[in-house]
Amino acid sequence: MLRSINTFGETPRICPLLQHDVDTRGAYPMQQTPCRLNAEQRESLQMENRRNYTDKELINDMIVPLLYQWTKANALFKPPVINQCRTIELKLTKLWHKAVETSLGKGNLARKNEFLHTLDTLFDILTCKCSIQLCSESNCSHSGKRENNSHIDCGCPREKKIPVLELEFIKAQRTKAEGQGSMQMGSIDYSETKKQIANAKKREQIREREQKKKMKSEEAIQREEELCQDVYHFFDSSSDEQEATSDDIPPINVNATKLSELVDLSLEVLEPPLTTSLTSQELRNLKETPMQVPKWPSHTQSVERCVKMVTEAAGHVYSHERRE
C-alpha cells in the first residue's frame, strides 16, 4: 500500500514509468496516457519495423506498465478486484481505435469533442463501479476523525470490492480534472503492504483447501454412486420378490487395492448373506437410511485377551526358562 498525500500547487515531472510528459506521478493513467504512449512507441520505431508492429503487440506492451501502476498503490489491486487481462486488452484496443479514427477526422465534431473530453478521465480498470462519497460531502460525523474518510454503497461480491483504505484515493482519481487530482501516491507503507500480502496469501490458501475438500467430496460421492449402481444392477437382474438363494460366498481378492476389486463382478456373483432378506427397493433405501448392525463382541479380541491372561498367570507358576 502507498500513502496518499496532497499535491495542490506542485509542478509535474516526467514519469519514469511512462517516459513522457504526463503527470502520472503518484496517480493512475488517464485515458490519454495509453494513446500518447502508443503513438510515441510507434514513432520511435524505424519505418520498416513500424509497419510490422501490430496493434495487438502494441496493446500487449501497454498492459504490463498499466498493471504495475495500479498494483503499486495497493497489493490487493489484482483480479478480480481489477479487470482480467483480457478485458483490459479489449478496453485498450477500443480506446486506441477511437483515437486513430479521431485523428483521421472520422466522425462529426460532437463525437470528436466527446472523445477529447474522455481523455482527461481516469482509465478505470476496477471491477466495482459503485459511487464513492466522502464524509465531508455527506456531513458525516466521522469526517476528519478516522483514516478512511469515505463511504460506498456497494453490492458487489466480496472478492470484487475496493479495499476500504483506498476508497478516498480512488474517489480523488475518478474525479480529477485534466490529470490533476487532490491526492497522489506517497512513500511505501511497508507494514501495511506486508500485512495485505500475508492476508491475500492466507485467503488463497483457504480457497485452495476448500477446492481440494470439495473435489475429494465429489469424488467420494461419485464412487459411492458407481458402487450403488453395481449393486442395483445385480438385484435388477432378479425378481423384486425374495427367492431362495445359495449361501455360497464368492472368492475375495486379497490383493485388491480398491473396494471395487474385492470381488470380480464379471463372474457369477451371488447375493451376500447380509442382504438375503432384503428386496431391491429395501436395498435402495439403505443409501438414505444405512443398516443398523448390532455391536456384536469381537471374538478375536476376546481370544487374544484370554491368551494374554493365561500367559501372565502361568508366569507365576513356571518361569520362562522352565516352560521350554
Predicted pLDDT of residue 217: 83
Q: Quickly tell me which residue has 445359495 as its cell.
A: 246
Q: What is the pTM of this model?
A: 0.49
Whether 29 maps to a domain, the answer reads yes
Q: Above 50 in pLDDT, residue 277?
A: yes
pLDDT digits (tens, 9 = 90+) for 75-92: 788 888 999 999 999 988
Residues 165 and 280 in one domain: no
Residues 15 and 147 in one domain: yes
CA atoms of 273 and 216, how far apart (whole Å): 32
pLDDT digits (tens, 9 = 90+) for 158-172: 888 998 888 888 888
Domain boundaries, position 265: 240-291
pLDDT digits (tens, 9 = 90+) for 280-313: 677 677 767 766 666 766 677 788 888 888 888 8
Residues 192 and 281 in one domain: no
User: What total of structural domains would you count in the chain?
Assistant: 2
Where does 251-324 show beta strands of DSSP type E? none
Predicted pLDDT of residue 128: 92
126 forms beta bridges with 82
Residues 36 and 129 in one domain: yes
Whether 218 maps to a domain, the answer reads no
Residues 48 and 184 in one domain: yes
Q: Above 80 in pLDDT, residue 271?
A: no
**Percentage above 70 pLDDT, the chain:** 61
pLDDT digits (tens, 9 = 90+) for 88-103: 999 888 888 888 888 8
Within 13 Å, how many C-alpha atoms sit on residue 104's CB side?
7
Q: Above 50 in pLDDT, residue 19?
A: no
CA atoms of 22 and 4, how far apart (whole Å): 19
pLDDT digits (tens, 9 = 90+) for 171-184: 888 887 555 555 65
Q: Above 80 in pLDDT, residue 248?
A: no
Residues 121 and 259 in one domain: no
Predicted pLDDT of residue 290: 64
